[in-house]
Amino acid sequence: MSRQIRLVVNPAAGKGRALELLPLVAGKLRDGGGNVEILLSRDFAEAQSMTRQAIQDDADVLAVMGGDGMMHLGVNTVAAAQLSGRNRTTLGLIPAGTGNDLSRGIGLDPHNAVAAAAGIAAGHRRFIDLARVGDTFVGAVLATGFDALVNRRANQMPWPRGSTRYAVATMAELRVFSPLQYRLILDGEVREQLAMLVAIGNTSSYGGGMLICPKADPYDGLLDVTIIHPVGRLKLLRLFPEMYSGKFVRDPCVEQLRVREVTVDGPGLVGFGDGEMIAAAPLTVCCVPRALPVFAPRR
C-alpha cells in the first residue's frame, strides 16, 4: 500500500521559487511510491487548516514546502498530534524560502528542495527534540533580545523583501538599542543581568544561517543558550558577520550554556521562535526530547 502524502505549499515562498520547483518536488515524492495530494495555500489560516486536516485524515506524511513560517506550522501541527496520541503522521520539510534554518539544523541542504523531497521518498524517519514555550513548539531558535527586536522590525517592513530586509532592520534597530535587563532561571539557577541578547537554540542557526548556537544538537535532549553580554553598538555590529561562521563565540562577551529549561523575564522582552512571534516575557522554555518524527538524513 502506497504512503498517503499531503504536500502543503506556500506558492509565494522564495519569491515564487516554491511554485517553480513544485513539479520536480512532487515527482520525487511520487518516485518513492507515494500517493501525493498537493495543496496550495493562499494564506496562513488556510495552510493551518490544510495541515490539521492532514492529521485528521491520518496521512502518513505531512510535507510542508516554503519558508521558516511554513516549517514552524508543520512542526506545531505534528508535535501537537503526537501529544494527543495521533502518531501516524511524519513531518517532511521541503525548504523553499530565504531562511530555511530548521531544515539546515536537521541536516538537510537548505537550498535543495528536490533533495529534501528525495529524502522523504527514501523514508528515513527520525525523532528530533523541540523547544516548548507554553503550548507552542520551536524547532530552531528562540530569540529574546536585540535579535528579536530586529525580527519584529523586519516583519513590519513592507520593503525590501528577502534576507536584505533583515540587514536593513538590523541597522535601524542598532541606532536606538541599549542593553536589556534580564532575569534568567537556568535549570533553577537565578540570574539578574544586562545583556544584548539571550538566544535559546534547539538547532544551531537563525536568520538564514547565523550560527547563534553553533553546537546545538536537536538529538541531545538539551537546549543551548547563548548570552551576549553588554557591549557597544559598534562591537555588536562587528560580531554579527562572525555569526555566519560561529567565530563570534570566541569573544569574551559571549557566554554559552546548556540547560533543560530556562525562564526569561524582563521589561519589554519578547520571544521570536523560528522567525515567528511567540509571546511577551515571561517565557519558560523547556526541551522536549524526541518530540517530533521527521524525515532527516542519517547522522
Grid coordinates 538529538 are at which residue? Answer: 219
Instruction: Examine the domain organization and report whether 167 and 230 are in the same domain.
Output: yes
Grid coordinates 522567525 are at which residue? Answer: 275
Instruction: Examine the domain organization and report whether 23 and 103 are in the same domain.
Output: yes
Please report the pLDDT score of residue 248 as a whole number: 96
Instruction: Examine the domain organization and report whether 265 and 155 are in the same domain.
Output: yes
Instruction: Examine the domain organization and report whether 145 and 286 are in the same domain.
Output: yes
Average pLDDT over residues 27-54: 94
The crossing angle, in degrees rounded to 10, of helices 164-174 and 233-242 is: 160
Bigger pLDDT: 248 vs 171? 248
Domain of 250? 141-290
State the chain's mean pLDDT as an integer.
92
Domain count, the chain: 2
Average pLDDT over residues 65-74: 94
Does residue 224 belong to any structural domain of this protein?
yes
Instruction: Examine the domain organization and report whether 51 and 154 are in the same domain.
Output: no
Residue 262: pLDDT band (50, 70, 90) is: very high
Does residue 297 belong to any structural domain of this protein?
no
Q: Does the pLDDT value for residue 54 go beyond 70?
A: yes
Nearest to 207 by CA among 99, 56, 69: 99
For residues 43 and 154, give the distance between their C-alpha atoms in angstroms, rounded to a whole number: 19
Strand arrangement, sheet containing 254-259: 254-259, 223-228, 197-201, 141-143, 270-273, 276-280
Please report the pLDDT score of residue 198 as a whole number: 97
Instruction: Examine the domain organization and report whether 151 and 111 are in the same domain.
Output: no
Average pLDDT over residues 9-21: 86
Please report the pLDDT score of residue 163 as a whole number: 62
Q: Does the pLDDT value for residue 283 go beyond 90?
A: yes
Last residue in a domain, options 69, 88, 123? 123
Instruction: Examine the domain organization and report whether 40 and 80 are in the same domain.
Output: yes
Last residue in a domain, options 123, 152, 172? 123
CATH number for the domain that contains residue 257: 2.60.200.40
Q: Does the pLDDT value for residue 36 go beyond 80?
A: yes
Last residue in a domain, options 123, 151, 173? 123
CATH number for the domain that contains residue 67: 3.40.50.10330
Does residue 165 belong to any structural domain of this protein?
yes
The string of pLDDT tens digits covering residues 96-112 is 988 899 999 999 999 99
Instruction: Examine the domain organization and report whether 56 and 157 are in the same domain.
Output: no
Does residue 236 belong to any structural domain of this protein?
yes
Instruction: Examine the domain organization and report whether 178 and 263 are in the same domain.
Output: yes
Q: Does the pLDDT value for residue 4 go beyond 70?
A: yes
Residue 8: pLDDT band (50, 70, 90) is: very high
Please report the pLDDT score of residue 211 as a whole number: 96
Instruction: Examine the domain organization and report whether 151 and 88 are in the same domain.
Output: no
Please report the pLDDT score of residue 59 as a whole number: 96
Does residue 28 belong to any structural domain of this protein?
yes
